[in-house]
Amino acid sequence: MRIALISDIHANREALEAVLADAQARDVIDFVLLGDIIGYGPDPAWCVEKTMALAAAGAAVVRGNHDQALGDPTVSMNAVARSVIDWTATVLNNEQKAFLSGLPMSITLEDRLYVHADASAPARYHYVTDADAAAAHFAGSEARLSFCGHVHRPALYALGTGGKVTGFTPTRTTAIPLLNQRRWLAVIGSVGQPRDGDPAASYALLDTKVGEICFLKVPYDVDRTIAKIRAAGLPEALASRLSRGA
């Protein structure tokens, strides 16, 4: 089974459309969305509706910190991120808000754990940015394979039999075998606001039959999204960073 792993859409319709089209061209029919459907971008209603449709068709969806923040003012955010959440609250309807608030913090299917941030404390939304943070994740979960987002940069961590955690920066489009003698944590990167120096949308494909993951980048109409951010009156920094992938 091939599964498209999608994270941190951040209300970017153009990026999500491009990723879904790429996945469908690869004959993918199973999807997992790792949270942060909203925040930063100009199309929260469309992105939530598309996510609801995917969920209705069987996709697994977990809650991100921006999704959580919509109904929870105690979630820690900088002023720019909070201002967009406040604006988003005026755009979404009650059904869309209820969908986001009802999302689980994590989902376990077979030997796979799906979570927005690290598994040691999912509701605290810790970033997995190095081997030490990945070690905390592994200590908080028994899953052999884990998948998260939140960081906006793709990464891969392996826990060996001796307890050592090794981090990798995955090569794009190259299938990576998830060897059975190790446990793995894949940080998927961001669809709607990449921070890896490349503005193209990030997602990954998991092949459960052969035990491989492939990290992908998909170009999209960044200029159109930037124009929509400005037209909505959202902070300029959110527009300018998209073109830099920063």
Strand partners, 146: 113, 185
Tell me phi and psi for residue 137, to 5 degrees.
Answer: -60, -50
pLDDT at residue 1, as a whole number = 82
The pLDDT score that the predictor gives to residue 29 is 85
Q: What whole-number distance in Å separates Cα of residue 199 and Cα of residue 245?
A: 4
d(Cα 106, Cα 148) in Å, to the nearest integer?
A: 10
Please tell me the total count of domains within the chain.
Answer: 1
112: β partners: 109, 145
What confidence score (pLDDT) does residue 161 get?
82
Kindly state the percentage of the chain with pLDDT values over 90.
85
Q: Does the pLDDT at position 245 exceed 90?
A: no
What pLDDT shows up at residue 35?
Answer: 96
pLDDT score for 172: 81
Burial group, residue 238, by CB count within 10 angstroms (0-12, 13-18, 19+)? buried
CATH code, 166: 3.60.21.10
CB 46 within 8 A of CB 15: no
Query: Which pair of structure tokens corresponds to residue 244?
Result: 């830099």
What are 54-97's pLDDT values in tens digits? 999 999 999 999 999 998 888 889 999 999 999 999 999 999 99
pLDDT (0 to 100) of residue 23: 96
Q: How many residues does the chain have?
A: 246
Q: Which of 192, 197, 224, 216 is nearest to 44 (CA)?
A: 192
Lookup: tokens for 138: 């592994």
Look up the pTM and report it.
0.94
| Full residue range of the structural domain in which residue 218 is found | 2-244
pLDDT tens, position by position, 118-141 = 988 888 899 999 999 999 999 999
pLDDT (tens digit per residue) in 16-36: 999 999 999 998 989 999 999
> Average pLDDT over the chain, rounded to whole?
94
Cα–Cα distance, 145 to 20 (Å, whole number): 23
Residue 157 is predicted with a pLDDT of: 97
